[in-house]
Amino acid sequence: MASILKDIPPDAAPNDFFVLLQRKHKLGKVYFMDNWPVNAERLMIITDPLLAAQVTVKHSLPKHPAYDRFIGHLVGRKSMISAAGATWKSMRSMFNPGFSSGHLMTLVPGIVDDCLVLCQVLEEHVRKDDLFLLEPVVTRFAVDVIGRVVLDVQLNSQTKENELLTTFTNQARWTPRANQINPLANLNPIRPFVYYYNTRKMDKYIENIIDKRYASRDGAKVQGHRKPAIDLALDEYATQQQEQGISGKVAGTDKAFKLAVIDQMKSFLFAGHDTTGSTIAYIFYMLSLHPAAYENVRKEHDQVFGDDTALAAELIKQDPSRLNKLPYTLAVIKETLRLYPIGSTSRAGDDETFVIDGDKSYPTKGHMVVVMSTTIHRRPDLFPSPDEFIPERFLPAPENSQEIPKDAWRPFERGPRGCIGQELAIIEAKIVMVLLLRTFDISSAFEEWDRNLGREKPGETLDGKRGMFGYRAYQTLVATSKPVEGMPSKVKRRSTP
């Protein structure tokens, strides 16, 4: 382990370390690791998609209690991210309708409006010709979308400071490092008080929004089927109450339900805070380094939306199904998520579940079962040239450069505990790409960033000590995996022939 750690950035996300560990020691599809005192239980590391399906689909093991320790302060104790049993099932069934692909398409016009604000933000950076951090910029866009999709409110975090986002970001900064070897390093007597203060602040902010929604819901006029997830959740909640024989109970006065909704809102904010923001930042980074792919995306957008980029937003609003006619754009998104998945899933082993690999059977009891998606995504037998950016591998047949093995692509995980917001993340990324890529040239600016900080050999990876897998950008752990240093970038108006 030490020989690997000394040759990678000290702030690199743990998932990248496991990729190198697998390669160096030629580890099997499942192996075990005792990393006490970081974890009290031994780790069962799964690096094969078929074995992963055994613990996520065939027998969907519950999320490991470690989730509460590392993200409970961000998402709450009733979050569907970490909840189990009846609590998880109830919350998931309530919010599933609000995140279905068909329903999200009805909300596309509002997402387009939020993206147009993002365009204005980038125009300001064009005017200033400054070096800026791309990830926080696109994360604010993602947060605005979450507010619109879930609660039908305009958080306006792209244009002004937003109390909810500021508090949430502060809370995330206080998250203990999951990859800290010395358990004493994470001890901080102030942390519980900061958690308490920030949690009260976030909960009160969201509660006020929910109360206003309750008060206006009966008389609110909804255009067509454009209902936010909270309204669909209330409909499902009312149905569940009727099925349980509970009548005359108003959801708005149910404290337990309100607290659960607050935790789900924080969970959606958490997801948008990492998945969408980080993925879009990486998409621009990879395209800036691969001009042929950049041009292929632009050509596809011209074919679907015409040459006049000013019309694209209205065309999407009029016919959101156009977003389904972008195979190369989707391939770029999928390839980016293959290289930079947000994280892996950790499950709690039990008495009944065994991982079967040929004639070998491994009990999961007493183990933290980790499906290492990053390692699966970078296995050369599953994805040839695994560290290279090759969107063509995800094109529909026969244009695809390879067949994707079953369950090998899993950035949102698989099975019933798969990410509820994965369709929304894909839709957001498509809209951003359509409205931005033909208007702006967004490029990586690590070289200038390093030079400004007085670092040696600006922009270089220093043989892996300041980069991973041949790229200067890599993932670091800030509650979840995020682009290191916020993805320094520059933007200018696209130069057309």
- Rounded CA separation 181/32 (Å): 17
Q: Going from the first residue of the chain to its last (497 residues), give the mean pLDDT of each consecutive group of 10, the final group possibly shorter.
A: 86 93 95 82 96 96 89 90 87 88 93 97 97 95 92 91 90 75 70 95 91 67 65 75 62 70 89 83 97 97 96 97 97 98 91 95 96 97 98 95 96 93 95 97 96 96 93 88 94 82
Cα separations in angstroms, 58 against 50, 61, 86, 347, 358: 10, 9, 19, 14, 16
Residue 41, pLDDT score? 86
pTM: 0.93
- Rounded CA separation 78/187 (Å): 25
Residue 252, pLDDT score? 47
- Residue with token string 């499950």: 347
- Three-class SS string for the chain? CHHHHCCCCCCECHHHHHHHHHHHHCCCCEEEECCCCCCCCEEEEECCHHHHHHHHHHCCCCECCHHHHHHHHHHCCCCCCCCCHHHHHHHHHHHCHHHCHHHHHHCHHHHHHHHHHHHHHHHHHHHHCCCEEHHHHHHHHHHHHHHHHHHCCCCCCCCCCCHHHHHHHHHHHCCCCCCCCCHHHHCCCCHHHHHHHHHHHHHHHHHHHHHHHHHHHCCCCCCCCCCCHHHHHHHHHHHHHHHCCCCCCCHHHCHHHHHHHHHHHHHHHHHHHHHHHHHHHHHHHHHHHCHHHHHHHHHHHHHHHCCCHHHHHHHHHHCHHHHHHCHHHHHHHHHHHHHCCCCCEEEECCCCCEEEECCEEEECCCEEEEECHHHHHCCCCCCCCCCCCCHHHHCCCCCCCCCCCCCCCCCCCCCCCCCCCHHHHHHHHHHHHHHHCCCEEEEECHHHHHHHCCCCCCCCCCCCCCCECCECCCEEEECEEEEHHHCEEEEEECCCC
Residue 182, pLDDT score? 57
- Rounded CA separation 455/438 (Å): 33
Residue 185, pLDDT score? 61
Contact between 161 and 276 under an 8 Å Cβ cutoff? The reply is no
Half-sphere exposure of 242 (CA within 13 A, CB side): 6
